[in-house]
Amino acid sequence: MMNAAQQLHNLGQSLWLDNITHSLLTSGTLSRYIEEFAVTGLTSNPTIFDQAIKSTGYYADVVRKKAAEGKSGEALFFELALEDLTQAADFFRPVYEATDGLDGWVSLEVSPLLADDTPGTIAAAVQLHERAQRPNLFIKIPGTRAGIPAIEEAIFRGVPVNVTLLFSREHYIAAAEAYMRGIERRIAAGRDPRVASVASIFISRWDVAVNDRVPNKLSNHLGISLAMRTYKSYRDLLASKRWQKLAASGARPQRLLWASTGTKDPAAPDVLYVEALAAPGTINTMPEKTLLAFAEHGKVEHALPVDGGGAETVLAKFAHAGIDNDTLATALQRERSVDFPKSWEDLMQCIGRLADNST
């Protein structure tokens, strides 16, 4: 009998793991997730690496060794991260090959300190992708004001991009248009239009931000409703003449990815967002705890409606309660743009302390 994770995969949604540690790769755990839960990719971010390095003795030993070789700071971290992520990419390479590049991806984020630096982000994306030497490794670039032109240029240069920090339909559309501009430029230049991308919409943080400001009956409904609104735009874009023209030239869709799908409210179901956002052709990247919970007791009952369902009715209720979605989307993106540099600085300090112990 199939578990719920396998059922969701059969519905047409890809399940990715939002985690990376060396032990995940070497203990057989990731292989088990691939086999038992139909996991077909994974994502990482600075916070995930920070937690992994702090909690695992393996990284302390490796950092000390690299420090003794004269490496430090960001350079040491990216060497460490690439070692894990290229190994993870190799785990998923059979999936990548079997799906003709549709699935089987892992993701590495550029330095969060480049958030306002478009040229620096472009240079870092190109360099990290070249260093990885893996066709199934995404470079994560935030869909911020400075990130949008970097996404277009990275796609034009043939770098697969996971657009991160998207919090609304409008954020998604900006990322999708940047992707299409990059593909259109490649076609005009006579280059291969097949450059992969995903657009990552953050879900649960919406509800964290508003649950104490709205009536109880609206609790934990905002993130899902905004996801439904965004999904409609995603499907509309794929049906548009502009995209159909690109598809006819051989381009592949930039897939929609649900991120931040672990439930933050202890009073809500632990698989709330996974069950609500089952949608063919999309991706859900989830923490290990959420993946295991969903496989154990989740349900796959229906697919997300392509017309947005009743999302606009629910969103109107939030507006009546005083929630300005556009303002909040900007605030959430800015907040995460600040959080990741804090995690990054914490990560650099942790690496520095470990490196100091190498002497």
Tell me if residue 49 falls in helix, strand or coil: helix
Count Cβ atoms below 10 Å from residue 184 Cβ, excluding itself: 19
Residue by residue, DSSP assigns 139-162 as: EEEE-STTHHHHHHHHHHTT--EE
- On the CB side of 349, how many CA atoms lie within 13 Å of its CA? 7
Asked if 151 and 179 count as a contact pair (C-beta separation under 8 A), the reply is yes
What is the C-alpha to C-alpha distance for residues 278 and 233, in angstroms, rounded to an integer? Answer: 16
Tell me if residue 28 falls in helix, strand or coil: coil
Asked if 353 and 72 count as a contact pair (C-beta separation under 8 A), the reply is no
The residue assigned the tokens 């556009």 is: 326
Closest alpha carbon to 231 in 121, 320, 306: 306
Catalytic residue among 65, 140, 264, 299: 140
**E-state strands within 88-168:** 105-109, 137-142, 161-166
What is the C-alpha to C-alpha distance for residues 153 and 182, in angstroms, rounded to an integer? Answer: 6
Count Cβ atoms below 10 Å from residue 178 Cβ, excluding itself: 26
What is the C-alpha to C-alpha distance for residues 328 and 153, in angstroms, rounded to an integer? Answer: 28
Residue 140 bears catalytic tag: yes
Structure letter (DSSP) for residue 305? P
Helices 325-356 and 311-320 pack at an angle, to 10 degrees, of 90
Identify the H or E element spanning 35: helix 29-37
Pairing of β 137-142 and β 197-202: unpaired
What is the C-alpha to C-alpha distance for residues 265 and 203, in angstroms, rounded to an integer? Answer: 13
* Active site amino acids: 140
